Structure 1
Amino acid sequence: MDLKDHIRSIPDFPKPGILFYDISTLLRHADAWQVAMGRMARAVRAHQPDLLAGIESRGFLVAAPLALKLGCGFVMLRKRGKLPGETIPLDYGLEYGTDRIEIQADAIERGQRVVVVDDLLATGGTMAAGIQLLRNIGAVVPAAATLIELTFLQGRSRLDVPCETLVSYDS
């Protein structure tokens, strides 16, 4: 099955000049979604994760069901102020400014293997920040994983771990 057949491209969203890859069409097609999760599970299982960390918000859509399929736990990397309890933040630079992600202080135990998951790898800034935040709190991060990679943006070059992807777009 070609998963690209189930990912819709929307021009000029969220602003002019951007081509948005919409996974909602993949999510609502049961067979394609099962195939995608099966392929992701095979790729991620090789890294022997204890937990998957999903990046807000579409990363949750991939990481949570994938964690169930792999029999491991799921934790959230969220934007500022979205998690209850004590959190640990990381501020990071983007091509257009700065942002912050946070994790609950008790989300992982030191030494746990955590694979970072998102829907899409573009410039790599948020994924690299997620990896760094997890390391800052004692996680071992053996890999990252996404459904889609925009290879022309070279986000993979910002990562110092392998990144498993199912679909790539070259332009």
Structure 2
Amino acid sequence: MGRDSEVSDLIDSLMREVPDFPEPGVAFKDLTPLLADARGLAAVTDALAASAEGADLIAGIDARGFLLGAAVALRLGTGVLAVRKGGKLPPPVHSQTYDLEYGSATLEIPADGTDIAGRTIVIVDDVLATGGTVAAVDRLLTSGGATVRNAAVVLELTALGGRDVVAPLEVSSLYTV
């Protein structure tokens, strides 16, 4: 059994499915038990870090992406940039607003104190679903002069088409449903 299938099997065994959350008909994939398990967290961190080798900086998306991004950055000896939901950072900020199914959302990074121009960044998050969030982070970082090499996620919900939305950005996912 290869390392990829071992990580996939571990994710499958520790992921919890919650029916009818956040609304009827949705089967929510809860990664909290995976992150709370020492072996699971270590395996996922190692696998995500392998997808991020050579990055100057890891961008972790609010909120579980912070946990994963920080762990990956430590493993690689880089820093982590927290990509926050709008209104959580003191000004000045760089921001990117994007559409959701119902409404819109904004993501922000500091405009001062962290220069991303010319840096090679890998985006890390827990789930790739519709792709809107990862695509917005890609635009946000690129507009700041960074080169976004790829995105690395634990779980990809393939039926929602996120990979097509973020194309041509390469996505590495550890587990797909």
**Shorter-chain TM-score: which interval?**
over 0.9
- What secondary structure does 1:130 align onto? helix
**Length-normalised TM-score, structure 1:** 0.93
Q: Which runs of 4+ in 1 moved over 4 A?
A: none
Report how many aligned residue pairs link the two structures. 167
Aligned equivalent of 2:138: 131
Any unmatched runs of 5+ in structure 1? none
Aligned equivalent of 1:79: 85
Quote the RMSD (CA, aligned, Å): 1.1
Equivalent pairs: percent with the same residue?
43
Quick one: which of 113, 119, 122 aligns to 2:120?
113
**CA–CA distance in 2 between the matches of 1:101 and 1:109?**
16
Deviation of residue 143 (structure 1)? 0.4
- What secondary structure does 1:27 align onto? helix
Q: Aligned ranges for residues 10-29 of structure 1 at < 5 Å?
A: 10-29=18-37
Do residues 101 (structure 1) and 113 (structure 2) align? no
**CA–CA distance in 2 between the matches of 1:82 and 1:69?**
27
Any unmatched runs of 5+ in structure 2? 1-5
- What secondary structure does 1:163 align onto? strand
Aligned equivalent of 2:3: none
* Contact 2:116/2:141 (8 A) holds in 1: no
**Length-normalised TM-score, structure 2:** 0.90
**CA–CA distance in 1 between the matches of 2:26 and 2:81?**
30
Give the residue type in structure 1 aligned to 2:86.
R
Q: Aligned ranges for residues 1-171 of structure 1 at < 5 Å?
A: 1=6, 2=9, 3-45=11-53, 48-106=54-112, 107-159=114-166, 160-169=168-177
Give the residue type in structure 1 aligned to 2:97.
D
**CA–CA distance in 2 between the matches of 1:64 and 1:85?**
23
